[in-house]
């Protein structure tokens, strides 16, 4: 009887030790994962990566530039001249009624034989980039 109790206690101890060992391994793994995740987040913020909201805003600005440039190309083909944003909207070439987005203002300038559509960021927005598109429909950053 005593031997049976000792055997049960030993097997219970072995099960308990395995369970504690599993929990320790799980905690160590979680700590390593947390460290790697935190290092990745810190590294991406240090390298100047924008927040998701900023990224979405920049994509919206670039899409707006392409829409304006497409409308300007169509207007230029029909009227042989460059139009302002208001003229594009009133002629029906451009359905977008706003002249900017989230700290950016849009402007159209004649450029040689074509045009440039510029998205200028407000001086109040630190670290933002101006963008430009032309008749080639290519959007690029402009200092």
Condensed to tens digits (0 to 9), the pLDDT of residues 34-62 reads 888 887 776 655 455 567 777 788 888 89
Q: Which two tokens stand for residue 17?
A: 């030790």
| Alpha-carbon 33 to chain mean position | 25
pLDDT the model gives residue 133: 92
Specify the number of domains making up the chain. Answer: 2
Q: Are residues 59 and 122 in the same domain?
A: yes
Q: Are residues 7 and 76 in the same domain?
A: no
Q: Which two tokens stand for residue 135?
A: 């008749």
- Residue 124 belongs to what domain range? 52-142
From the list 52, 48, 57, the residue with the least C-alpha distance to 104 is: 57
Q: Return the percent helix, strand and coil in the chain, to nearest 5.
A: 55, 20, 25
Q: Are residues 29 and 65 in the same domain?
A: no
Q: Are residues 30 and 60 in the same domain?
A: no
Q: Are residues 20 and 44 in the same domain?
A: yes
- pTM, two decimal places: 0.62
pLDDT band per the 50, 70, 90 thresholds, residue 25: confident
Condensed to tens digits (0 to 9), the pLDDT of residues 81-140 reads 888 888 888 888 888 777 777 788 899 888 877 899 999 987 666 678 899 998 889 999
Q: Are residues 19 and 61 in the same domain?
A: no
Q: Are residues 14 and 66 in the same domain?
A: no
Q: Are residues 3 and 66 in the same domain?
A: no
From the list 54, 56, 94, 128, the residue with the least C-alpha distance to 117 is: 94
């Amino acid at each position: 009887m005593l031997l049976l109790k000792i055997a049960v206690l030993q097997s219970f101890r072995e099960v308990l030790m395995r369970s504690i060992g599993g929990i320790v391994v799980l905690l160590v793994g979680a700590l390593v994962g947390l460290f790697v995740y935190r290092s990745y987040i810190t590294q991406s913020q240090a390298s100047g990566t924008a927040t998701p909201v900023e990224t979405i805003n920049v994509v919206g600005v670039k899409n707006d530039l392409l829409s304006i440039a497409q409308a300007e190309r169509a207007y230029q083909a029909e009227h042989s001249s460059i139009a302002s944003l208001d003229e594009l909207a009133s002629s029906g070439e451009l359905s977008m009624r706003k002249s900017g987005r989230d700290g950016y203002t849009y402007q159209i300038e004649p450029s040689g034989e074509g045009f440039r559509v510029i998205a200028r960021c407000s001086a109040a927005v630190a670290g933002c980039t101006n963008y430009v598109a032309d008749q080639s429909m290519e959007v690029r950053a402009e200092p």
